[in-house]
Amino acid sequence: MNTANWMILRAAVLGLAIFGQTACAQSPEPTTTAPAAATTASPASQTGTAPAVTGLPDFTVLVEHNAPAVVNIRAVILAGSRRSGGPQMPQQEIPEFFRRFFGPEFEHPPGGGRDRESGGSGFIISPDGYILTNNHVVRGADEVRVTLTDRSELIAEVIGTDPQTDIAVLKIEGENLPTVRMGQSSELKPGQWVIAIGSPFSFDHSVTAGVISATGRSVGQSQQYVPFIQTDVAINPGNSGGPLFNLNGEVVGINSQIFSGTGGYMGISFAIPIEVAQNVVEQLKTDGRVRRGLIGVRVQPVTREFAQSLGLERPAGALIAEVTEDSAAGKAGAMVGDVILSFNGRAIETSNDLPPIVGLSRPGDKVAMEVWRDGRRRTLNVTVGEAEADPEAIAAASTQDGPASGANQLGLAVQELTAEQRERLGLESGQGVVIARVSGAAARAGLARGDVVLRVGRTDVGSVRDFERAVSDVGPGDSVMLLARRDQSNAFYTITIRDSDR
């Protein structure tokens, strides 16, 4: 090879090397045109096989159509409220995900003499103003404010909450409001595109996109009834409660949590399946509470070793470690050592699959439960029992029925209790009224929405009229003792009226 040819070959090789380094070091510029895979022939397309990916989606129309139904939510804790001085639950009960998501401030919120706010997202599900969000967005709030896309701000009523699924239903006044369309999360598959719209760090109506990473995820005992959708959509503080859309513009989930060691987004986020949320909404609106199925077993995973020992073909199902006495499963003949393979026609692949499926069953339903015992399959007929109601959820939902009394100088508006609500709260007939709204002097005293007022001074109250009569003469400078029930226990509260409370 002569010198001239050698120089040409050397230049060509160097050119290829430099081009290769540039392609690896620089990411392609964002574009809305089809990627190279869609327009450039590849070995797959040359052989007649369709390429696996043909282009990236454009979310513009989807966002323009649905963004007006997404709202910003601010939960306000008033100065002097019992909530402003500390956390709302014992530290050991705060889910690990929430501690990681919100950071140290969630565990030790600052006290002080001024109102505090926390933010989140939500979306309108009916033209008359029903809104879905997360329970942890509004939990413990004295006032909930909702901001629409036109910047108008409205006070929202908390219709009901369900801590077990982290769902809250709000209501604002309005007509012909923009709404979202509901999809089916059961049809989601890993790899499908999804997008989130919300208010991360108060940057309202921010749009982020990603793919489904997995479905049916369990994130701990505190939310065992939720088979979470895992995505890699960027979710940050403020996104909680916002919608997760599929490419059809349908809501398939509610963004709820992230997995993070720092409190910031690290590529793993979780959404509540929309079917779970819809079930909760329907029950809260019709019954004022959420009823869940219970069969009374404690289960654990089936390992490879267990499967081999039990004669199973593969490690699948939920191994029964304990059967509660006089439980639905026990009455049906379930035994310790049985492996539950299916429940009500739905396969149980892991032990985490069982609680959501059982929880969604209606108490009283008769379902077939297939178990593995002594080397063969057996079918047990189970009459589903009912899980114990969440006291916090009852308190939140109990204020939805009936008109509230007008606010007074105590800062309280109360409502009548129904016979069913009294029964659930352990009260006798004609006993107590429930607090629908609280502010001012009552908030400073530590009273909260959902508390049940049993007595004003030495006068028992069993109706709104009784309450209004008992407080009619209260004025600035007066102090009034109220006996109230919260979480199945009674306590006295002293409300002192200031001149500013008029």
pTM of the predicted protein model:
0.65
Per-residue model confidence (pLDDT) at position 448: 81
120 or 477, higher pLDDT: 120
417 or 368, higher pLDDT: 368
- Domain annotation covers residue 348: yes
3-state class (DSSP) for residue 314: coil
- Domain annotation covers residue 461: yes
- Domain annotation covers residue 35: no
Burial group, residue 406, by CB count within 10 angstroms (0-12, 13-18, 19+): exposed
Per-residue model confidence (pLDDT) at position 11: 42
Per-residue model confidence (pLDDT) at position 36: 34
Share of the chain above pLDDT 70, in %: 75
Per-residue model confidence (pLDDT) at position 369: 96
> pLDDT tens for residues 370-387?
999 999 999 999 999 988
CB 346 within 8 A of CB 367: no
> pLDDT tens for residues 342-362?
999 999 999 989 998 998 888
Q: Which two tokens stand for residue 12?
A: 């060509």
Cα distance between residue 137 and residue 169, in whole Å: 11
User: How many domains does the chain fold into?
Assistant: 4
Share of the chain above pLDDT 90, in %: 40
Mean pLDDT of the 69-75 span? 94
Whichever domain contains 223, its CATH number is: 2.40.10.10
Domain coverage including residue 430: 398-501
- Domain annotation covers residue 21: no
- Least confident window among 178-192, 217-231, 236-250: 217-231
Whichever domain contains 330, its CATH number is: 2.30.42.10
CB 291 within 8 A of CB 241: no
Buried b (16+ CB within 10 A) or exposed e, 18-43: eeeeeeeeeeeeeeeeeeebeeeeee
The single residue listed with the structure tokens 């398939």 is 252
CB 146 within 8 A of CB 154: yes
- Least confident window among 33-47, 340-354, 384-398: 33-47
Per-residue model confidence (pLDDT) at position 439: 77
Q: Which two tokens stand for residue 67?
A: 């963004």
- Domain annotation covers residue 460: yes
Same domain? For 137 and 72 the reply is yes
Per-residue model confidence (pLDDT) at position 95: 53
Mean pLDDT of the 92-119 span? 54
pLDDT at 218 over 70: yes
- Domain annotation covers residue 3: no
- Domain annotation covers residue 320: yes
83 or 250, higher pLDDT: 250
267 or 149, higher pLDDT: 149
Instruction: Measure the CA angle with vertex 105, ends 104 and 106; round to 5°.
Output: 90
Per-residue model confidence (pLDDT) at position 103: 47
pLDDT at 105 over 80: no
- Least confident window among 6-20, 143-157, 210-224, 382-396: 6-20
pLDDT at 99 over 70: no
pLDDT at 9 over 50: no
Same domain? For 68 and 166 the reply is yes
pLDDT at 283 over 90: no
- Closest C-alpha to 135, from 225, 261, 27, 33: 225
Same domain? For 297 and 279 the reply is no
Q: Which of 166, 204, 390, 451 is catalytic?
A: 166
Q: Which of 136, 199, 204, 353 is catalytic?
A: 136
Mean pLDDT of the 396-425 span? 68
- Closest C-alpha to 273, from 390, 356, 158: 356
Mean pLDDT of the 378-405 span? 67
Same domain? For 344 and 420 the reply is no
Q: Which two tokens stand for residue 393?
A: 């959820």
Q: Which two tokens stand for residue 433?
A: 């009224």
Quickly list H helices, 324-418: 328-332, 354-359, 391-397
Same domain? For 237 and 304 the reply is no
Is 136 a known active-site residue? Answer: yes
pLDDT at 1 over 80: no
Is 166 a known active-site residue? Answer: yes
Q: Which two tokens stand for residue 319?
A: 């191994």
Cα distance between residue 215 and residue 270, in whole Å: 9
Contacts made by residues 154-159, CB under 8 angstroms, sequence distance 24+:
156/73, 156/131, 158/396, 158/399, 158/449, 159/130, 159/284, 159/285, 159/397, 159/400
Q: Which of 240, 269, 351, 361 is catalytic?
A: 240
Same domain? For 330 and 279 the reply is no
Per-residue model confidence (pLDDT) at position 273: 95
pLDDT tier for residue 289 given thresholds of 50, 70 and 90: confident
Radius of gyration of the chain (CA): 28
Cα distance between residue 148 and residue 156, in whole Å: 12
Is 65 a known active-site residue? Answer: no
Same domain? For 194 and 281 the reply is yes
Which residues are bridge partners to 131 per DSSP? 124, 170
Mean pLDDT of the 90-95 span? 48
Same domain? For 339 and 238 the reply is no
